[in-house]
Amino acid sequence: MATFVLVHGGGHGGWCYQPVARRLQAKGHIVYAPSLPGMGEHTHQRHPDIDLDTHIDDVVALLQWEDLTEAILVGHSYGGMVITGVADRAPQRVGHRVYLDAAYPRDGESLHEHAFANIEGARQGLYVENGVELVMKPDPIHPGFFGIHDPALAQWTYERLTPQPWACFSQKLVLRNEAAMRALPESHIICTPTIPGRDMDLLRARSQGRVWDIDTGHDLMLTEPDWVTERLLEVAATMG
């Protein structure tokens, strides 16, 4: 039995992992899929101080309060920034990092710098609400941007998307214990269209070849939940 902590990406909440979480739980695994501060069901708690560190600290607190060890951290998209920071802050509680079509940052890098083309586009739509700088204001076209083309699934997703505090994308990730974080096993699950621009040789070397790709949209946990679950079960099988 493995313990998974599924961390969502920008504009999303823990809700986006429902199909995968249910499949993992049906196999007997323990699954946490938190909505990060200010996101999902926590939008009413949004405040100007929410940034990348806030999200990292929140997941670290989850690991501590639930007394988790050997946790398999899964980060989708922006969630790759978060799980990298979490593994850096609490490597003793982490057993594996899984990057789900995710950011794979270097020390001192923000998501804005890491994925400039996409995030700069989001920045152009920045607005302020209740003192919080926000991007990714939900729009009916967003599910298509995330690769969701089934009308029912697209509508379900659109109804749950929320704006993202800009500071989460602009704050630089500062690693404090990079050697310990890098020593933890990692795997990469990638959407084929996002391969260009990735250093695939580096990813394969750091993950001992555990790199899978599938030709689907960015929200692959929603469009291909069976396939994603199978890959996560393969990761769990590597745990001693």
Beta bridge partners of 5: 32, 73
pLDDT (mean) for 73-93: 98
The predicted structure's pLDDT at residue 1: 93
pLDDT band at 168 (very low <50, low <70, confident <90, very high): very high
CATH of the domain at 225: 3.40.50.1820
Q: What DSSP state is assigned to residue 184?
A: S
C-alpha dihedral, 72 to 222 to 117 to 185, nearest 10°: 20
Taking the alpha carbons at both ends of the chain, their separation in whole angstroms is 11
| pLDDT higher than 90, residue 197 | no
Averaged pLDDT of the chain: 97
For residue 129, give the 3-state DSSP assignment: strand
Cα separations (Å) of 149 from 73, 146, 153, 154? 28, 9, 8, 6
CA angle 73–23–78, rounded 5-degree value: 35
**Tokens found for residue 108:** 């001192």
pLDDT band at 227 (very low <50, low <70, confident <90, very high): very high
Q: What DSSP state is assigned to residue 109?
A: B
CA–CA separation, 35 and 149 (whole Å): 24
**Tokens found for residue 167:** 């500071």
pLDDT band at 144 (very low <50, low <70, confident <90, very high): confident
| pLDDT higher than 80, residue 240 | no
Axis-axis angle for helices 225-237, 18-26 (nearest 10): 50
The predicted structure's pLDDT at residue 182: 97
| pLDDT higher than 80, residue 137 | yes
Q: Which domain holds residue 15?
A: 3-237
CA–CA separation, 116 and 197 (whole Å): 12
The predicted structure's pLDDT at residue 229: 98
The predicted structure's pLDDT at residue 46: 97
The predicted structure's pLDDT at residue 142: 84
Q: For the chain, how many structural domains are there in total?
A: 1
Q: Which helix (H) or strand (E) holds 114?
A: helix 111-114
Q: Find, among 123, 114, 113, 162, the residue nearest to 14 by Cα.
A: 162
C-alpha dihedral, 194 to 82 to 2 to 98, nearest 10°: 20
Q: Which helix (H) or strand (E) holds 220?
A: helix 220-223
Cα separations (Å) of 72 from 42, 98, 109, 237? 24, 7, 23, 11
